[in-house]
Amino acid sequence: MTVRIVTSTNFDFEHFAARSAADEGPSHGLLALADRLNAVIHQPDEDSIRPIDRLRSAIAGRPEHWALARRVLKIAEPDDVIYCTGDDAGFPMAFLAMQHDRNATVGTQIVGPGRLRTRVLSQLFARSLPNFFVSAGTISKAAELRRSLSDSVPVILATQQTDTGFFRPAKDVQEPLEKPLIVSCGLEQRDYDTLAKAIRRLSSLEVDTDVKICVASPNKTADTQYLFPDVVPDNMEMRLWEFAKLRELYQQATVTVVPVLPNNYIAGLTTMMEAMACGSPVIMTELGGLPGEFADRGAILNTPPGDAPRLAEAIRETIDNPARAAARAEIALEIIQSEHAASAAVERFADGLQKVIDDRKAR
Domain with CATH 3.40.50.2000 in the chain: 3-161+341-362, 181-339
Q: Measure the N-to-C terminal CA separation of the chain; round to a whole number of Å.
A: 15
For 201, 291, 314, 339, the CA distances from 277, given in Å and listed in that order, are 29, 14, 20, 11
Element (H, E) at 135: strand 132-136
CATH architecture, domain 181-339: 3-Layer(aba) Sandwich (3.40)
Query: What's the pLDDT tens digit per position in 98-131?
Result: 998 888 899 999 988 888 999 999 999 999 999 9
pLDDT for residue 176 is more than 90: no
Distance between CA atoms of 257 and 147, rounded to whole angstroms? 34
How crowded is residue 51: how many other Cβ atoms within 10 Å of its Cβ? 8
Distance between CA atoms of 69 and 59, rounded to whole angstroms? 14
DSSP state at residue 227: E
Distance between CA atoms of 144 and 288, rounded to whole angstroms? 14
For 13, 37, 135, the CA distances from 296, given in Å and listed in that order, are 36, 35, 24
Element (H, E) at 214: strand 210-214
What is the residue-averaged pLDDT of the chain?
92
Lowest mean pLDDT among 191-200, 247-256, 307-316, 343-352: 343-352
DSSP state at residue 191: E
Residue among 194, 182, 183 at smallest CA distance from 262: 194
pLDDT of residue 218: 65
For 23, 69, 159, 197, 354, the CA distances from 350, given in Å and listed in that order, are 25, 22, 11, 44, 6
Query: What's the pLDDT tens digit per position in 258-286?
Result: 999 998 778 899 999 999 999 999 999 99
DSSP state at residue 341: B
Residue among 112, 92, 78 at smallest CA distance from 42: 92
Question: Quick one: the chain helix, strand, coil %, rounded to 5?
Answer: 45, 15, 40
Query: What's the pLDDT tens digit per position in 322-351?
Result: 999 999 999 999 999 999 999 888 898 999
For 80, 160, 162, 260, 290, the CA distances from 269, given in Å and listed in that order, are 31, 8, 10, 10, 8
CA 262 to chain centre: 15
Query: What residue spans of the chain are helical by DSSP H?
Result: 13-21, 29-37, 51-56, 63-75, 87-100, 116-128, 139-148, 192-204, 243-252, 269-277, 289-296, 308-320, 322-339, 342-362
Residue among 244, 176, 250 at smallest CA distance from 213: 250
Lowest mean pLDDT among 39-53, 166-180, 322-336: 166-180
How does residue 95 score in pLDDT terms, banded at 50, 70 and 90? very high
Is 194 in contact with 258 (CB distance < 8 Å)?
A: no
Mapping DSSP to helix (H, G, I), strand (E, B) and coil, where does residue 117 land? helix
Distance between CA atoms of 100 and 49, rounded to whole angstroms? 19
pLDDT of residue 266: 81
CATH number at 3-161+341-362: 3.40.50.2000
